[in-house]
A and B are shown apart, each in its own frame.
Chain A
Amino acid sequence: MSLGRSPRVTRRRRASRRFPRVPRVRTILLVLLGFILSGVGGALNFFWPTITAAVGATGHTIQAPTPTSLPGTPTAAPSVAAGSQAPFTVLLMGSDNDGKFTTSSGTPYFCCAQSLILVRVNPTAGSVTMLSIPRDLWVPIYSANGKERSDGKVSEAFGDAGDGTSGADAQIATIEQDFQVTIDHYVWIGLQGLINLIDEVGGIDIVASHPVMDDNYPYDVEGSTNPNAADRVAVLPGAQHMDGLEALEYVRSRHDDISEDLGRTVRQQEVLVALRQKLSQLSLGDTNNLASALSGEVLTDVPLTQFSLLLGISKDVGSGSIQHVYLTQDSPGTEDGQDVLEPDMSAILAAVHQYFPSS
């Protein structure tokens, strides 16, 4: 083996003297950085529609004040952030959002929440409890600032009471005060958003427990502008693969249900479980289409950064670990000329606090 310098090395050194080089390590780092930046740029370009949609939909702050504790009720553990291992409570709200109703002065308003489901998630135990709140429950309604307004149907808190405190915050305040629970997070979805979401995942599969028939179903989506228009619905019993509109009809119809609104809340939870099953198959490539489907139809206070953690929890929870709870401690009544459900609040609070810590 020769220990002498080869002519090739000599030429390289001469060349280096003429054109000063970037040191080799720096060159490698520079190239690597270039590739990383390029990859991040490619990913950013792909996710840009999702990011812009998510920035508008997520991270909203709950304005409702902490509920006042009832005398004698135990105090709950402090509220926790989603994504930690501590249990937390989410309020799921569904409603129309196209402003089809107007006040006497012509201002659009949203009449009410169509669906109210409290969800308690225990990441450590891998369990979820879903509690449906009947929308016709007659309770004190609170403004977003925690001020009691009047009695009304619990779902009406979402609507405009003329004091400028409509929407999710007033609904959260009302449920927190009436049920003495702390809501850590909320997710609101519009009716059209639910249709879009289910269509985007290719529909959902459920077993319809009975014929759902309705000759007076509200025809107020898919471009309808008449809030009083009606439609006929017939969802036949048995296994069904439903698109978004069919699923919405299935969860909204209540006129021919022997259990009335309660039957509808059961169907709502069925559809949520089926939807979760479909969403658990999501991949990164689906996010843009989902974001497009939900654009303007979803609002939540959950920060974008915690969504992956929530999705991870959702995937870890098996169907058998989801507990369904329905409030039946009420009786039919009439208030202000409306058919309502008169609550037995002490029985309801006892039932709620079995699963949701009191505030």
Chain B
Amino acid sequence: MSRSRRLLTWIVLLVLMVAFGAGVNRYLASGSTVAFAPAEKPTQTDVKLSLPGTVYFADGGGLFALTGTHITQLQAEGQGWTQPVLIPGGAGLLAVKVTANYYSDLYEVDLSGKVEAQLSHDSGKVTATELGADDWIYYPAVGPGNTLYFSYDWPKGNVDDLAQCCYQVDLSIWKTTLGTDIDRTAVEHSDGITQESWANYYTGGDVSPLPLASGGLIYVDYEAATDNSEVSTPVHGADPGDEVSQIRMDPTPNANGTGHGTPLTQPGDDCAQPALNPDETEIAMICTPVVNGAPSSTESDLVVASFDAATGTLGPLERIVTGTMAASPTWSPDGTDLIYLAPEAGDGYFELWYVKDATTLPAPQARQVTSDLDLDGSAPVWRP
């Protein structure tokens, strides 16, 4: 081999060596875990399954509508929108708008996302040392006669003592007529607004009101899992600092001034997030499974049970989706199918899932509807 050819060979080898080093570098860089990739915008994602009707949901602080496989943005992301619910008759939506770390307010929006009315006025009262003056409003639900139920963090303790303010901030369920202005003063003085449930102190309070056609109310309360000074016996296997939820029914809310009603589920079932089908014969809910002898902190089951609204009795709890972190079930308009939220494998973001004929046992396999989104924990709304 001539000197020049040998030199050329070495130059080529050196170039290859450098390329190899660069390749190793790029290979390592390309190994970044896809699981940690940010979620996509709902309007840019592929929908895997077409559902009948329209599903309204919150994602990243925005409001969206899913029709078929097409997602429309109703309210821009980053504005704190959450917990959309349908106004009976389907004319529009109610939704909560959260200003993180300060307050939330309730709005009425039409089906295209246009804000029609601000129903509560908790905004703008706060100063840095008067946080107790602000309020949270969550979990709107509209019942017969345009009765509006919601959870509100009043009464709360020590609000007048800034040195101690505000250690007890529990949500209780309140009722008014849709369209009534809601603010602290009206709530505090029961000015057209009445308290329907009385929270167990220091538990976070009562949430998820579900009005019944009869005027009764289903809701969820919380209690210490291992403390029998509350309203139940300790939950076997619970950690000493755990709290558990119980779904309750009060046929005549506000009648006895205690607001506890009667339990539909047991504390050991730790059930919450109830969804009532349109004819009030089935309740879907989320219950915590017992794993290795203790309530799981990383799993929640989708459960369905028959319900008799007249007697306030619940049938056996049927766990139709297990081994995941199910959340926020919603019945189809005809009351046969369910949609719910659960994490996608890998990235853990919450996606929409679908179970056809959810009351048929064994329930068919759940199918994933959306992917690469990051849906918030609030229940979607399903309109025909």
Contact = CB atoms under 8 A, between A and B. Distances in A.
Q: A interface, by DSSP: helix, strand, loop or mixed?
A: mixed
B348 A203 contact: yes
Contacts of A217: 101
B76 to A, nearest CB: 19
Contacts of B128: 229-230
Contact-size category for B: 35 or more
Contacts of A270: 297-298
A329 to B, nearest CB: 11
A328 B132 CA distance: 31
Nearest to A270: B297
Contacts of B346: 281
A278 interface: yes
A34 B30 contact: no
Interface residues of A, number: 75
B165 interface: yes
A282 B169 CA distance: 39
Nearest to A206: B297
Interface in A263-279: 263-267, 269-270, 273-274, 277-278
Given A236-B377, A238-B377, A239-B286, A46 B29 contact: yes
Contacts of A353: none
A354 B157 CA distance: 40
Contacts, number: 248
Contacts of A258: 200-203, 223-224, 227, 230, 243
B31 A285 contact: yes
Given A215-B165, A257-B202, A258-B227, A284 B272 contact: no
B300 A207 contact: yes
B34 to A, nearest CB: 9
A350 interface: no
A281 B348 CA distance: 11
A54 to B, nearest CB: 16
B180 to A, nearest CB: 23
Contacts of B241: 257, 259, 262-267, 326
B22 to A, nearest CB: 6
B204 A284 contact: no
12 contacts: A12-B1, A19-B3, A38-B17, A46-B24, A205-B348, A213-B136, A233-B101, A239-B350, A258-B227, A266-B240, A286-B31, A320-B292
Interface of B: 1-3, 6, 13-14, 16-18, 20-25, 28-33, 35-38, 98, 101-104, 128-129, 131-132, 134, 136, 138, 153, 156, 165-171, 200-205, 207, 220, 222-224, 227, 230, 239-245, 270, 272-273, 286, 288, 291-292, 294, 296-300, 325-328, 341-343, 346-350, 374, 376-377
Closest 6 CB pairs of A and B: A211-B204, A285-B31, A215-B166, A239-B327, A38-B21, A42-B21
